[in-house]
Amino acid sequence: MSQKVLLNTKEVNIILHRLACQLIEKHLDFSNTILIGIQPRGAFLAKRLTEILKEEYQISDLKLGLLDITFFRDDFRRSEKPFEANQTQIDFLVEDKNVVFIDDVLYTGRSIRAALTAIQSFGRPKSIELLTLIDRRFSRDLPIQPDYRGRQVDAINNEKVLVKWKENDGEDAVYIEVKS
Amino acid sequence: MKELSVNHLLGIKYINKNDINLILETADQFKEVINRPIKKVPSLRDITIANIFFENSTRTKLSFELAQKRLSADVMSFSSAQSSVKKGETLIDTVNNILAMKVDMVVMRHSSPGAAHFLSQHVKASIVNAGDGAHEHPTQALLDSYTIREKLGEVAGKKIVIVGDILHSRVALSNIFALQMQGAEVKVCGPKTLIPQYINSLGVTYEPNLIKALEWCDVANMLRVQNERLDVSYFPNTREYTQQFGLTNEILNNLNKEIVVMHPGPINRGVEITSDVADGNHSVILDQVENGVAVRMAVIYLLASKIQN
């Protein structure tokens, strides 16, 4: 197995700031917007973006939720490994709000398909957008594309994209791992 | 990644501590789900479950049905009163006929101890025991543990007294296994005639005095006297039982501590527990009912994930 760096700490930081600015461009003061981190890995990105928006761009009225999609996946009993559920933390209704899904890697699009179903349990959003740090091109099973993307990569199927976060993995970086 | 060590839930004694933890942790997520505006998830869309109840039940049957529906399973329920069992069909024949309709899981209540275990050996489906005679009622014990964990933080190190008809109670036996497995201490209390002789061999002590038992415990689980199972007279009369083992507000107020009062239902108000206690601040009886749905969702979800596709 070999690993190569796709993004280092500095590049991740620049991208996070760009994504934050793109969100501001579209959502201005976020008064009718809800950010939703997709559990488990999207939560790190969502929290990081929230911090940047609050501290560096003084957006105080930010609503952040975390959505677990385990029970909405379409591969229950089809996957080799059992799923472990994570916490869903959405303390508000999304009815008529502009929702932004936040996840670290967009690959087949099936997680986002599950999230689109799962979010309906909390109301009917006005719109849903997708923000992803890494967009793996040419690997989609479903017609789902991001509205905001950090970096697009052409990883092939035996390659794995690993997103690491300081608070969980000790560093901010993105690697591509090739299974040999 | 975690999964259950078993393919059926036949009783607490067939599972281990990790299984209990996994079920209770998964139930946390389902409790959040059943408090959403839309309380349903699509996980079990392609699973069919039969609930077969050879004994009366309100709470357990409704709770299982609701849990299955919240998971989007297809559900069919039947009670023996309206079935061909009355015409002389055997248990295996009844269940195999149901399974011929492509059922993946069977939730069964039966008056014979070991019925669920017997079924699991003879039919191809995942079996959940919803009570087998005076043997086990595993989902009740799991929801009781879940409720204790919710109210007191954890089960380990807590002191629980089970009061009432221990001899005929499947709730008591499953609770004893589950609580001890999680590191709690268990005492039983009740008329000596309704305490099994072998109770000490389970690592459980007997306390004949209700007040002493309550002063010792953190949680009191009040059981119903199962009049329908009493073949002979075990105590002089209900009034005397109530005087010795009935829980009243006066007793609770005279304790120099706060305890949690549980009851698996159905309650015989004024017998083992007075109405003011059952509806009072110490009581978590309705929390138990709510938690029952979440815990049963967790059990069914985790077992279903092990059914071969």
Which residues fall within 8 angstroms of residue A130, CB to CB, at 6 or more apart?
Answer: A100, A101, A103, A106, A112, A144, A145, A146, A147, A148
Q: Running DSSP on this structure, what letter comes out for residue B223?
A: P
Confidence band, pLDDT 50/70/90 cuts, at residue A92: confident
Sort out which chain B residues have CB atoms less than 8 A from A76's CB and list them.
43-44, 304-305
Smallest Cβ distance to A77: which of B41, B42, B305?
Answer: B305
Is residue B149 among the annotated active site residues? no
Lowest mean per-residue pLDDT among A40-49, B231-240, B262-271 = B231-240
Query: Closest approach of chain B CAs to the CA of A55, in angstroms?
Result: 31
User: What is the predicted pLDDT for the residue at B236?
Assistant: 87
Report the length, in residues, of chain B: 309
Residue type, B306: K
Instruction: Choose, out of A70, A77, A119, the residue to mutate when testing the contact with B (most B CBs < 10 Å).
Output: A77
Instruction: Name the residue of chain B whose CA is nearest to A73's CA.
Output: B43
User: What is the predicted pLDDT for the residue at B38?
Assistant: 87
User: What is the predicted pLDDT for the residue at B235?
Assistant: 87
Report whether B103 contacts B50 (CB < 8 A).
yes
User: pLDDT at residue B111 above 70?
Assistant: yes
Structural domains present in chain B: 12-137+289-304 (3.40.50.1370), 138-286 (3.40.50.1370)
Instruction: Name the residue of chain A whose CA is nearest to B306's CA.
Output: A77
H or E element, residue B206: strand B205-206
User: What is the predicted pLDDT for the residue at B260?
Assistant: 96
Q: How far is B196 from B254, CA to CA, in rounded Å?
A: 30
Cβ separation B301–A71 shorter than 8 A = yes
Cβ separation B40–A77 shorter than 8 A = no
Q: What would the pLDDT profile of A117-144 be if each residue is shown by its tens digit?
A: 999 989 899 999 999 999 998 889 999 9
User: pLDDT at residue A82 above 90?
Assistant: no
Cβ separation B38–A86 shorter than 8 A = no
Mean pLDDT rounded to a whole number for chain B = 92
- The answer to whether B265 is annotated as binding is yes
Sort out which chain A residues have CB atoms less than 8 A from B43's CB and list them.
71-73, 76
- The answer to whether B109 is annotated as binding is yes
Smallest Cβ distance to B37: which of A76, A77, A93?
Answer: A93
- The answer to whether B60 is annotated as binding is yes
Report whether B184 contacts B155 (CB < 8 A).
yes
Residue type, B132: D
Smallest Cβ distance to B41: which of A71, A78, A84?
Answer: A71
Torsion sign, CA atoms B36, B37, B42, B47: positive
User: pLDDT at residue B102 above 90?
Assistant: no
Residue position matching structure tokens 């007294």: B161
Q: How far is A135 from A139, CA to CA, in rounded Å?
A: 9
Q: What would the pLDDT profile of B208-252 be if each residue is shown by its tens digit?
A: 999 999 999 999 999 998 877 777 788 888 899 999 999 999 999
Which candidate, A62, A31, A67, places its Cα nearest to that of A49? A62
Catalytic residue among B60, B94, B139, B274: B60
Average pLDDT over residues B148-160: 96
Structural domains present in chain A: 33-71+86-157 (3.40.50.2020)
Cβ separation A76–B39 shorter than 8 A = no
User: What is the predicted pLDDT for the residue at A105?
Assistant: 95
User: What is the predicted pLDDT for the residue at B83?
Assistant: 66
Cβ separation A122–B37 shorter than 8 A = yes
Percent of chain B with pLDDT over 70: 97
Is residue B60 among the annotated active site residues? yes
In this prediction, the answer to ipTM > 0.90 reads: no
Q: What would the pLDDT profile of B64-78 be if each residue is shown by its tens digit?
A: 999 999 999 999 988
Mean pLDDT rounded to a whole number for chain A = 92
User: What is the predicted pLDDT for the residue at B233?
Assistant: 82
Catalytic residue among B36, B58, B86, B87: B87
Q: How far is A68 from A101, CA to CA, in rounded Å?
A: 12
Q: What would the pLDDT profile of B81-91 be if each residue is shown by its tens digit?
A: 666 666 778 88
- The answer to whether B149 is annotated as binding is no
- What number of other Cβ atoms are within 10 A of residue B221's Cβ? 27
User: pLDDT at residue B175 above 70?
Assistant: yes
Average pLDDT over residues A55-71: 92
Q: Running DSSP on this structure, what letter comes out for residue B185?
A: E
User: pLDDT at residue B97 above 90?
Assistant: no
User: What is the predicted pLDDT for the residue at A30?
Assistant: 92
Query: Closest approach of chain A CAs to the CA of B4, in angstroms?
Result: 10
User: pLDDT at residue B1 above 60?
Assistant: no
User: pLDDT at residue A81 above 80?
Assistant: no
Instruction: Choose, out of A66, A75, A76, the residue to mutate when testing the contact with B (most B CBs < 10 Å).
Output: A76
Instruction: Name the residue of chain B whose CA is nearest to A77's CA.
Output: B305
Instruction: Name the residue of chain B whose CA is nearest to A120's CA.
Output: B38
Q: Please measure the distance between the N-terminal and C-terminal CA atoms of chain A and give it in whole angstroms.
A: 5
Instruction: Choose, out of B23, B30, B41, the residue to mutate when testing the contact with A (most A CBs < 10 Å).
Output: B41
Report whether B204 contacts B186 (CB < 8 A).
yes
Is residue B87 among the annotated active site residues? yes
Is residue B31 among the annotated active site residues? no
Q: How is residue B273 written in tokens?
A: 């527990």
User: What is the predicted pLDDT for the residue at B84?
Assistant: 66
Which residues fall within 8 angstroms of residue A170, CB to CB, at 6 or more apart?
Answer: A164
User: pLDDT at residue B189 above 90?
Assistant: yes
User: What is the predicted pLDDT for the residue at B308?
Assistant: 77
Cβ separation B40–A121 shorter than 8 A = yes
Buried b (16+ CB within 10 A) or exposed e, A85-109: bbebebeeebeebbbbbbbbbbbeb
Smallest Cβ distance to B305: which of A76, A118, A120?
Answer: A76
